[in-house]
A and B are shown apart, each in its own frame.
Chain A
Amino acid sequence: MTSARPAAPPAELQLLLIGIGGQGIQLIGKTLAQAATNTGKHAMLAADYGGEMRGGPSNASVVIGTEPLRSLPILPSATAAIVASHKFAGPVPQRLREGGLLLRNSSVVDSGAGREHHRVVEVPATAMATELGAPQASGFILLGAFNRLTGLVPEAELVTAMTALLPPYRAQHATKNAEALSAGAAAVAGQEAPR
């Protein structure tokens, strides 16, 4: 009745997504988890319940690994975080592990969110999305940047997953979202973690 367990479980990427409704947090979480699944990885996406209305908190967590996952659906700690909105950055400083990657939307998040021992990268996602003429796509700017920083999946996989996930009445956003993914990746070029 007892299941065997390897001594040291392989590392899993544990990402916290922190934002407010309307920023597309759930959609970028789904996009990342789906792209990871499409490339043969194990993925989990746990949405935070509560308001998904515009302006309310909208949080999610994504776990990705190469083996069946052991992470809990409510993460006690995380290896990375994307903070899209300053309003609800609450759990990040406590839960993000030392050395963890903290990707901040510097257009709206003040630099107080996060601590010295995190690896902080800033992207002015809201401003960039407005410049692209796609204010709804700021989340994809952050996702594009995050994926470039971590080298998680080929960027094309994000585009494929995003396009498939868009409901028909939002299909017209696909092109701009794809541009946002590329713009985000370009914005952090050269800052990739040494591998």
Chain B
Amino acid sequence: MNTAVAKPSMQLLEGATAIAESAILAGCRFFAGYPISPFTPLLEHMSRALPENGGVCINAESEIEGANMALGAGATGAMAATGSCGQGLALMQETIAEAALNETPMVVFNLARNQQDYFQATRGGGWGDYRTIALAPKDIPEAVEHTQLLFHLSRRYRAPTLLYGDPLLAQTRVGVHLRRIEFDELPPQDWALDGTGGGTGESRQIWTWAMGKATNPGLGPDGHWQQVAAKFDRIAELEQRSEQRYAEDADTLVVSFGSAAKFIEHVVEELRAEGHRIGWFRPISLWPFPGPALAGATAGIKRVLVFELNAGQMLEDVRQYARDRDAIRFIGGVSIHESGLSYGPLLDAPEIRARILAAIAEDSTRSTS
């Protein structure tokens, strides 16, 4: 253990801090949020670090205000973000939908308490034909990358984007290398409000209804919302992300997302070492859901096990795309720590292993009887 090479650029950081630092590296200059566990350390870190980097962090008076502040900052073309856990994101739904429909980029961090916000992340609770790109990292190094990717995608598509994390991502400390990721060049932000349009007859407007100005009419709600819907169709095709292993050589495929997928990977490796024909599939983008990839991965699979820490939310998406709906078994469930603030006993490798083995055993007794 004494042979370590010195890697001075590696820092031991709490996940929330690593995410905040990554956001700043991505160019985030505005953050507003309202404290709630386990999101609070992200807000606290932003309040220290953003001003040092020429930015602004506001401890908003509510999640509604925090989200609208971020929307306002985003409307000027600045990289802006807000965050909370699922409880606070519930209050932000109107604003997230508004930003999607008036095409204001902003990033929303859901450092959630568990996986019960899958529907919230992928369906949303605002009005209108909008979607939200939602990425679910499996661990902190990936969350650091996703953070920068989400700022980029938000700008590229002029749409709010969402990181779906959890207490393990927020509170665990790991050694991470922070660096700025370079992406493709972004389109010019000629839409951003800077105040210079006044009196020119060409003043700018950001408006969900997009009716434009009297002298320069916009598309109006019909044309604009069709265009927005078409944009989300395009995103749905282009931005699917997933990962899989052993699907081509498996009878059993376990589908899971976020931290849970990290546990599944671990258990699957164990079971394969013991001779089980098993693999895993992980949606990285929850929306757009990587349906075609899942359809491919489930071809020839005897049983598709869905593991998530909720009553069965992603399960609906799996049902939509798995080759054989009858092959699907749900092995997840609601499991909450007694504090209510994190996962319960189900997020534990021995417990998950037992559930997978039970599902396999049940199937084989069923098929032999």
Contact = CB atoms under 8 A, between A and B. Distances in A.
Contact of B337 (A34, A37, A49): A49
A37 B342 contact: no
Contact of B1 (A3, A66, A69): A66
Contacts of B358: none
Given A40-B7, A73-B259, A152-B1, A2 B244 contact: yes
Interface in B221-264: 242-245, 259, 262-263
B171 A47 contact: yes
Contacts of B11: 37
A76 B262 CA distance: 13
Nearest to B3: A66
B282 to A, nearest CB: 10
A72 B12 contact: no
B168 A73 contact: yes
Q: What is the predominant secondary structure among interface residues of chain A facing chain B?
A: loop
Interface residues of B, number: 39
Contacts, number: 89
Contacts of A5: 269
A176 interface: no
B168 A34 contact: no
Interface residues of A, number: 32
Contact of A50 (B1, B242, B337): B337
Interface in B151-177: 167-168, 171-175
24 contacts: A1-B244, A2-B244, A2-B245, A39-B6, A40-B6, A40-B10, A41-B1, A41-B4, A42-B175, A43-B12, A43-B175, A45-B12, A45-B172, A49-B167, A50-B339, A64-B1, A68-B141, A72-B266, A73-B259, A73-B262, A74-B168, A76-B348, A151-B1, A152-B1
Interface of A: 1-3, 5, 13, 30, 33-34, 37, 39-47, 49-50, 64, 66, 68-70, 72-74, 76, 150-152
